Amino acid sequence: MTIQVGDRIPDVPLTIATADGPEATTSSDYFAGKKVALFAVPGAYTPTCSARHLPSFVEKAGELKAKGVDEIACTSVNDAFVMGAWNQAQGSQDITMIADGNGLFAHAVGLEMDASKFGMGQRSQRYSMVVNDGVVEQLNVEAPGEYRASSAEYMLEQL
């Protein structure tokens, strides 16, 4: 079942890509006590994700933080090394990269998708959400092949 506004984020293991390497945490610990603008992409380095999705949050990071967001995070079903390299290549220090290498988070929030026909296996759908102290305040799930509702610009309109 897909997570809904008002639901608490399920507790699953996560890995944060840091400059010092992968850092293990849990979703309960990561989202506790702060307001997080989270966006999810089907894959690091994929066309729309690299050309539009990540850049929108890099560009609008200051505006999101000015509207009360404490942290901006990106999650994808990729390992921490790929997420770290992608952030180093195209992101910024304003974005926390959350590796969901086994797809546990995507599955727990009910937003996984089967991209096997593209050779990518199980992945995350494209979406964004605002999570305040572990509770979903805003959820924007894209229709297949779309990119609008999960952009930083759309999130800013809602805050």
Catalytic (active-site) positions: 49
Nearest to 58 by CA among 20, 23, 91: 91
Could you count the other beta carbons within 10 Å of the beta carbon of residue 132? 16
Say how many Å lie between the first and final Cα of the chain, rounded.
26
Buried-exposed string 44-80: b where 16+ CB fall within 10 A, e elsewhere: bebebbbeebbbbbbebbeebeeeebebbbbbbbbbb
Are 91 and 75 in contact by the 8 Å Cβ rule? The answer is no
Nearest to 128 by CA among 37, 23, 9, 60: 37
Pairing of strands 95-99, 71-76: parallel
